[in-house]
Chain A
Amino acid sequence: MEPKVINQTLSKAAHSGRWKYGQHSCFCQKQGSGNNWAYGYSVHGPRHEESIMNLIQKEVEKCDSLNGFFIIMSMAGGTGSGLGAFVTQNLQDQYSNSLKMNQIIWPYGTGEVIVQNYNSILTLSHLYRSSDALLIHENDAVHKICAKLMNIKQISFRDINQVLAHQLGSVFQPTYSGEGSFHYRRNPLGDLMENLVPHPEFKMLGVRNIPQMSENSLAYSTFTWAGLLKHLRQMLISNAKMEEGIDWQVRPPLSGLPTLGKMSLNKEFHFNTSIANLVILRGKDVHSAELGAFKDPALYTSWLEPVHAFSVWKTQRAFSKYEKSAALVSNSQFLVKPLDMIVGKAWNMFASKAYIHQYTKFGIEEEDFLDSFTLLEQVIASYCNLGF
């Protein structure tokens, strides 16, 4: 809703010489939403609904076969979060047969924006009702990857966005549609959602990549599929955000035995139960990769068989500079703790009524906040109970 960033984005793309944005593919206004979710949702949304939906319509008409929509936004601000939620809702109304995935940037735990927790809970609760899947990237995690794995001293947003783009590329770059097939997957978005979101109560997806390192370190490393997959599996079950500092103590519960009690949010070492996982392998000798360990029923919740819960995509083609690389998209308890933190902080602030007048000014009432809290507590509870 304000021009500076879009201008920068358009010129950067044009400078690359290899691709650019369509001339009329952008929409911006003069004044932003002031970090106010209510302003983005209730003021900018209705005001610009027609123009924005028309623009989307034009792009849709250019498609032969529309998989769906991929909406990239942050939760902490006003436009990405509020207007993003509004647009997603509109997409659901207008294109009810198309899939929608929202790529969400989870803000740093310590303040980028003071009202980020309010904006986040309002965004998440609205998206939960109108989106099909939420692909979540946490700023804190990506920041650590830059610091520890990429060895960047003075981390800028450019570095962070580079890592993010790599993660997205590792998921959405083409892969073959089946074992031994020579056709590329026609509908990655659809396949992904079909595999990973079997139940509407569980929509939160996280991404993990391996390997991830700076150019310098890459020169001295060699990889085997066995090694990569072993690390990736442990990252999954111990809820590690990156390859370094993986907790090898965490083990899946012995199959057949009931898990010991409900997942406690306070316990340090707990096992990350999954609903569904998708592993994407890119590189040399990919057919030799052994994935049995990911099909262990102990990794998954009881109401889904591993044959349904686990899927794999492959391609011989290496991605970026990695001779072999693996990505994991997981619908699991990855995001319970961060979600619980945000809900907790927002609740504390809400109890003192701080900043609420900024939202009620634009039509978001205390009722709306309470609805959001209720919905999200439900989501947290559902994910916590997966261990049974």
Chain B
Amino acid sequence: MTQSVVIQVGQCGNQIGCCFWDLALREHAAVNQKAIYDEAISSFFRNVDTRVVGDGGSISKGKICSLKARAVLIDMEEGVVNEILQGPLRDVFDSKQLITDISGSGNNWAVGHKVFGSLYQEQILEKLRKSAEHCDCLQCFFVIHSMGGGTGSGLGTFLLKVLEDEFPEVYKFVTSVYPSGEDDVITSPYNSMLAMKELNEHADCVLPIDNQSLFDIISKIDLMVNSGKLGTAIKPKSLVTSSAGAFKKRQEKPFDAMNNIVANLLLNLTSSARFEGSLNMDLNEISMNLVPFPQLHYLVSSLTPLYTLADVNIPSRRLDQMFSDAFSKDHQLIRADPKHSLYLACALMVRGNVQISDLRRNIERLKPSLRFVSWNQEGWKTSLCSVPPVGHSHSLLALANNTCVKPTFIELRERFMRLYKKRAHLHHYLQIEGMEESCFTEAMSSLSALIQEYNQLDATKSMPAEDLPRLRIAV
């Protein structure tokens, strides 16, 4: 069994991370009734005897003593991290695994990347090495950050280069929150563009998310909950947005519901690697199957179901509905319409009491309405994990490598151009040591090249799939 380390950077990253750890604890508590420290839980948590001072406290087997998250928390402001450390999750985090500063990055990618990057490089390396040492077999780093700010965007992407150099064999999965149209940070296009270049070059897989989509999903759920239709009571604890659990009484902060969706995404992504099932899928298989060309590693994700109705008997029609929903544009975590774009590859990660025949039946059913690239007509990767998420009997996470990410990138480029043409706020960046105009132009061309690759693939959409002439053998 392998372990993963979560690195949460910046305000957004840390808030999402906090929800993630809460949910992870809940999930393992539900599965692991006997409180034994087993391999599944060791993928994200260490078992520590807190009475032992210093580093010797790690326990590898037996009863759970005290769980510590395999996490590194980084923020250049103290507010968010302090709040986490004073909140109900304070014992889950190892106080030595934090890096904080006071002044913050001022929504400036250059400050996060260049200034704090060089300032904290040694410390970051040290914390990362420590967490890697605690792992038997480290497979994956999960980086959570936002693209629009300064710390998450700048320092978060600086980290990627460090990870690549120091841990070349470990996968880097990046969960990036992209700014939506009505983002209130004026310089977010600059920050996002500069961060994109780093993601292009140093991440293995990126899961783009945008706030607007998360918000739309929440609205949908609220509508359902409040519609009060007869006989459609929602099962408690089943909302993909709910963070209720041991901490029911806690005041829900405004972004909590949205962050929980992302937390669920990460849990479902790793479920097949942690728990048993009839068709396992490890994290290294995600990159292998979904990234046909090194540059095209942006995966659009969708989660279903969003809630479970209290109806105990779930006919297979509901199951099929779950599969259909995964492909609808209302369930995507980024604004995208995969059904009307071109699929390069698609992964379906199913949890719960679903068998291979259900999976196959639904693939057959949905295939005709989806367009796959000519050289990957049957580009499906599937996995079945027997353990369902808390509050559901089954769930589905769909990861698609689809050209529908292109509009997001094009919009990003346009917003960037609007600012850059006027050279608005540019001086805030250029005054930082190490920053030059070429940083901007290089980032632009990197993004343009990426968009171009997607364009080329889209162009093949309308061409009929032809079989290429095969090798001829002299008989």
Are the C-beta atoms of A355 and B292 separated by less than 8 Å? yes
Q: A14-69: which residues lie under 8 A (CB-CB) from chain B?
A: 30-36
Q: Is residue B374 contacting chain A, with contact meaning CB distance below 8 A?
A: yes
When distances are taken between beta carbons in the complex, the residues of chain B under 8 Å from A344 are 467, 470
Interface residues of A in 103-124 (CB under 8 A from B): 108-115
Count of B interface residues, CB-CB < 8 Å: 46
A35 contact set on B, CB distance < 8 A: 284-285, 288-289, 381
A3 CA to B360 CA in the complex, in Å? 26
**A302 beta carbon closer than 8 Å to chain B:** no
A110 touches B378 (CB 8 A): yes
Cβ of A312 within 8 Å of any chain B Cβ, yes or no, is: no
A-B contact count (CB 8 A): 132
With an 8 A cutoff between CB atoms, is B220 at the interface?
Answer: no
A154 CB–B CB distance under 8 Å:
yes
Task: Tell whether, in the assembled complex, residue B376 and residue A354 are in contact, meaning their CB atoms are under 8 Å apart.
Answer: yes
Instruction: Say if the beta carbon of A357 comes within 8 Å of chain B.
Output: yes
Please name all residues of chain A whose beta carbon is closer than 8 Å to the beta carbon of B452 when the two chains form the complex. none
Cβ distance A34 to chain B, nearest Cβ, rounded Å: 3
Which B-chain residue is minimally distant from A350 (CB atoms)?
Answer: B375
Instruction: Answer yes or no: A377 CB below 8 A from chain B CBs.
Output: yes
User: B276, B279, B282: which contacts A8 (Cβ < 8 A)?
Assistant: B276
Q: Which residues of B contact A143 (CB under 8 A)?
A: 356-357, 360
Query: Which one, B278, B470, B472, contacts A343 given CB within 8 A?
Result: B470
**Residues on the B chain within 8 Å of A183, using CB:** none
Which residues of A lie under 8 Å from residue B74 when comparing CB positions?
none
- A228 sits at the interface (CB 8 A): no
Q: Does B293 contact A (CB under 8 A)?
A: yes
Of A156-164, A204-212, A215-223, A283-291, the segment with at least 4 beta carbons within 8 Å of chain B is A156-164
Question: Given the complex, which residues of A lie within 8 Å of B137, measured CB to CB?
Answer: 30-31
- Tell me the B450-475 residues at the A interface (CB within 8 Å): 467-468, 470-473, 475
Is residue A348 contacting chain B, with contact meaning CB distance below 8 A?
Answer: yes
Residue A264 at the chain B interface, CB threshold 8 Å: no
Closest chain B residue to A354 by CB distance?
B292
Contact of B279 among A3, A33, A112 (CB under 8 A): A112
Q: Are B356 and A160 in contact (CB under 8 A)?
A: yes
Chain B, residues 362-406, CB within 8 Å of chain A (1/0): the string is: 011001000000111111111000000000000000000000000
Q: Which residues of A contact B292 (CB under 8 A)?
A: 354-355
Complex Cα distance, B282 from A55, in Å, reads 26
Residue in A closest to B139 when the chains form the complex, CB atoms: A31
- A373 in contact (CB, < 8 A): yes
For residue B287, which residues in chain A have a CB less than 8 angstroms away from its CB? 34, 358
CA distance A4 to B467 in the complex (A): 39
Give the contacting residue for A357; candidates B39, B293, B356; CB below 8 A.
B293
A143 CA / B358 CA spacing, docked (Å) = 12
A131-162 interface code vs B (CB 8 A; 1 in, 0 out): 00000000000010011000001111110100
Q: Is residue A345 contacting chain B, with contact meaning CB distance below 8 A?
A: yes
Residue among A345, A354, A381 with the most chain B CB within 10 A?
A: A354
B284 pairs with A348, CB closer than 8 A? no
Q: How far is the CA of A381 from the CA of B472 in the complex (A)?
A: 9
Asked if A156 and B278 make an inter-chain contact with CB atoms under 8 angstroms apart, the answer reads yes
How far is the CB of B288 from the nearest CB of chain A, in Å? 5
User: Which residues of chain B have C-beta atoms less than 8 A from A348's C-beta?
Assistant: 374-375, 467-468
Least CB distance from A342 to B in Å reads 11
Task: Judge whether B293 and A351 touch: CB under 8 Å.
Answer: no
Are A110 and B367 touching (Cβ within 8 A)? yes
Which residues on the B side are within 8 Å of A108 (C-beta)? 360
A33 to B290, alpha carbons, bound, how many Å? 15
B106 to chain A, nearest CB (A): 39
Is B470 a contact partner of A111 (Cβ separation < 8 A)?
Answer: no
Residues in B with CB closer than 8 Å to A78 are 285, 288
Contact for A114 among B39, B345, B471, B472, CB less than 8 A: B345
Residue B2 lies at the interface, judged by CB distance under 8 Å to chain A:
yes
- Is B294 among interface residues, defined by CB-CB distance under 8 A? yes
Q: A349 at the A/B interface (Cβ < 8 Å)?
A: yes
Check A5 for interface membership: any CB of B closer than 8 A: yes
The listed residue with most A CB atoms (<10 A of its CB), out of B282, B356, B377, is B356
Instruction: Tell me how far the C-beta of A13 lies from the nearest C-beta in chain B, rounded to whole angstroms.
Output: 16
Closest to B284 in A: A34
Q: Which residue of A lies closest to B359 (CB)?
A: A112
Whether B357 contacts A155 by the Cβ 8 Å rule is: yes
Q: Do B2 and A31 touch (CB < 8 A)?
A: yes
Check A319 for interface membership: any CB of B closer than 8 A: no
Beta-carbon contacts under 8 Å, B228-250 to A = none
A2 CB-CB contact with B under 8 Å: yes
The interface bits of chain B over 263-290 (1 if a CB of A lies within 8 angstroms of the residue's CB, else 0) are 0000000000000101110101101111
A378 at the interface (CB under 8 A from B): yes
Residues of B within 8 A of A36 (CB): 284, 288
User: Is B363 a contact partner of A111 (Cβ separation < 8 A)?
Assistant: yes
CA distance A343 to B472 in the complex (A): 13
Within 8 Å by CB of B136, from A30, A155, A157, A160, lies: A30
Give 28 A-B contacts (CB < 8 Å), ordered by A residue.
Answer: A4-B276, A5-B280, A30-B1, A31-B2, A31-B284, A34-B285, A35-B285, A78-B288, A110-B363, A110-B380, A111-B379, A112-B382, A113-B381, A114-B290, A114-B380, A143-B357, A155-B356, A158-B278, A343-B470, A347-B471, A348-B374, A349-B376, A352-B374, A352-B375, A358-B287, A374-B471, A377-B470, A381-B473
Given contacts A2-B2, A345-B377, 9 further A-B contacts (CB under 8 A): A32-B285, A34-B287, A35-B284, A110-B367, A111-B380, A113-B285, A143-B357, A347-B468, A352-B375
